[in-house]
Structure 1
């Protein structure tokens, strides 16, 4: 799809402008393609996701995007009878075919296991060779992935004895995490990834708009470690939403450190995103929240900046939250950060409060 400029424009990238009857200013005339092409493209994505377009269902684009990746789920159920409840819900098993589902294991399985998605029925999880799971194929804290093939869920990222991933995050939303991990016997190197928490959106008074919070930074690297040493792990807490006319809170950083081993002190850190600016008087907009900075990583992009409060015509809209590197998910105006490390959306006038920043995440693999 390409950009469709206003009718009669010689510049293929010409912007659309509003008309002003009081001055005789003509507004832009949109060609038919400006309406048709985006609809066709969206419908093509919906159809590719095996969905039937329905005018009454305004969540189909979200369903289609979700089908092709992104995020992870925190399960319920038991170690061998896992349940997840994605929202919006999958309506039937056909919609699940080919969808990658990433899950943070709540317990280590002790034998064959099943997965039940949105109450559609418990179906077997099998190894890539078609065999039933054995004890320890899924380990508590590990992010594993399954895909439904029309009959069973296949364990795509099967745990091997030489590679384990554990995730450390809060219970969801704005929450952070503080804890530790003892380096297992025989492990001398670990791959560590950290996302800082997102900043909260700025609040606004009447006829004004707050800025979106910034996304947390990201850092990753391999580190030598000492078996038996204790690693200290901190996953950041998302920034609070700003009150009326007040700036949002900054997200806090995520880091891993040790006091013994080849490397001591902080291994790497991913800073939290800045809070979005508040709009304390009418007809003003809040500034964007800055993205979090990082250190210690072999790859360490900063978090995405939030969006300043917006004015469209005479209407004021809160800014979008900044994205989390490699994860995305900045909050819509007035919404919480959508995925770990993303910023909260800014407040819209005094009718829609800003969103909180999402908590950070740390994963450790060996």
Structure 2
């Protein structure tokens, strides 16, 4: 089994490397020189040409953001599925994404009234900050609703997430209704997801959050495997179940809130990746967690490369592509459940 896992890891890394190199060369702008020549020339001269600006300031940050975002959404989706013992669970389930979308919509519709009062840096990042704040507040509310006497109730957590998602969706719909044509266009594009706004400082911030969060989640494999036996059985085996619940919920909220704040809504990645891996490794979370990060990065990088090349010079929102990929998987999960009920 270890040899088989190593082969899959190596295969995924090779595919990721091929997808990365391919993504460097594909886009609306065609380079006049090779990537190596462009980078080496820039570091020698310390001045940007058209090639180096597109490559270093636009394309590489976007590629890295796709890798980090795919890894984050996949490992959080896998962790939440293990926690809820439900293959339909995803980061959207507890309302994190809808909270971020709501606060982003509020900023797009009403933010213009205060933009001129803010410093340039803050006005430029206000949308991301508000979306991140929305994700955190949603996480805090849902967690508080589901926790009593130091114990987190999963059912109440799920129902609270559904309620928050419905409320956030209603308010976002109202904001969409009263928005101007320009606000509606911005709101629609942001809610469909896009990595076009990626830059180095965003990549660095997401890298810190995703690295720390993933490091903690990767250690939860044994606990999630034990949870498959039931909470009482896992507790008898010596695992701190309540601490695990808190950590997975909070870390997942922070990671998803961070990537949604910068990239908008990108659905189905956290649902599709674990489902694909379970065909080979069943529900061994010691294996699923690390492999989901790599496969999630691969899938989202390929999806983003397609989104920015399929309708050149325009760009197709990446959320549309991930929904097209995810919907058939979601339907297949439901069909399998229906068969089991017979």
Tell me, yes or no, whether TM beats 0.5. Answer: no
| Bigger Rg, structure 1 or 2 | 1
TM-score normalized by the length of structure 1: 0.24
- Normalized per residue, the structure richer in helix is 2
- Normalized per residue, the structure richer in strand is 1
The structure whose RCO (Cα within 8 Å, separation 6+) is larger is 2
